Structure 1
Amino acid sequence: MTLTKSISLVALVTGLLLLIPLTAKLTMANMLWTAEDFVAAGIMLFGAGLTFVLIARLGNNNTYRLAAAAAVGAGLLLVWAQLAVGLVGSEDNPVNLLFGAVLAVAFIGSIAARFQPRGMANAMFAASLTYVVVTLLALFVWPPSPDTAEPQVRLANVLAANGIFAAIWAFSGWMFLRASASSSNQNRHLA
C-alpha cells in the first residue's frame, strides 16, 4: 500500500472512531465531551495512526509491525489516560507530568536505534523500566496530595494499572527482540 493510501486509511479510521463518542454525545445527556475534546481525540488518534504507519514501513516482517503497534498503542494509551484521569491521583496532580519521561525514553531511544529492531527492543525495555521507576517515584517519593488524589482509588489499583502499562512497553520490546532474531535468520539464509 502506498504511503498516501495508508495516510488516507488512517484518516478514515480516525473519523470512524470519532463517530463513537459523537453518537454517545448525541444520544446520552451525561456525555460531556466538548469540541476541544473531539479535536484532541482526533489529533491523538490520527497522530498515533500516522506514527504507526511510518514506523511499520521500516520493518521487514509482521513481528516488527506488531511490536510497533504495541509501542504506539502504549504511547497513545499513556497520553489518553493522563489527559482523562491521570495515572497517579487525578489528572490535575503535577506528579503525573513525570510520565512524559517514558515517552521521551521511547522516542529518543528509537531515534538513537535508527528504528532497527534490536535497538528498538532496548528502547522499549528502557521505556518499561522508566515507567516502573516513575510510578514508584510518583507514589512513594512524591505521593499525591489529598486534594489531587481520588480517595476511592486504592494503591493496589494504581500499581496494577501502571503495571499493565509497563507490561505493554515490555511486550513491545520483546516483540522487537523477536523481530531482530527473525531478521538475522533471514539474512543468514540469504547469504
Structure 2
Amino acid sequence: MITISKSLKFILAGIAFILVIPLVAMQFNTEVNWTISDFLVAGSLLMFFGFLLETAIRKIHNLSSRVVIIIALLIILFLIWAELAVGIFGTPFAGN
C-alpha cells in the first residue's frame, strides 16, 4: 500500500487551491482565458517548486541558509510564472 505523507497532501492541496482561482475567475470574467495546457504547465511548475521547497525544508538544517534558499526558490518561481504569463524578459516562452 502506498502511503501519502502529510506534507505531500499539503502541497497537492495548495496546488489545487491555486489552480481553482483562475478556473473560478474564468466563469465570471472573459479576460481570464486559460486553456488546458495553461493548467497543466501551471500545475507542473507548482508541483516542481513545491517538491523543491519541501526538500529544502527537510534537508537544510541551518535556519539562515534555509530562509535564503526558500526565498531564492520563490523568486525564481515568480519570475518564471511572470515570464510565462506576460513575457517580462522577451523569451520565446512569453505568454503574449
TM-score by length of 2: 0.79
Would you say the 8 A contact 1:55–1:68 is kept in 2? yes
CA–CA distance in structure 1, aligned partners of residues 18 and 82 of structure 2: 17
**How many pairs are equivalent?**
91
CA–CA distance in structure 2, aligned partners of residues 15 and 67 of structure 1: 26
CA–CA distance in structure 2, aligned partners of residues 87 and 18 of structure 1: 22
Structure 2 portions without partners, runs of 5+: none
Q: Which residue of 1 aligns with 2:36?
A: 35
- Please list, as runs of the form range in 1=range in 2, the aligned pairs for 1:32-181 lying within 5 A after superposition: 32-88=33-89, 90-92=90-92
- The SS at the match of 1:60 is coil
4+ aligned runs moved over 6 Å, structure 1: none
Would you say the 8 A contact 1:52–1:69 is kept in 2? yes
TM-score by length of 1: 0.43
Question: Could you tell me how far 1:52 is from its partner in structure 2?
Answer: 0.5
Structure 1 portions without partners, runs of 5+: 97-191
Structure with the larger RCO, 1 or 2 (CA within 8 Å, 6+ apart):
1
Question: What fraction of aligned residue pairs are identical, expressed as a percent?
Answer: 30
Cα separation, partners in 2 of 1:91 and 1:27, compared to 1, 3 Å: farther
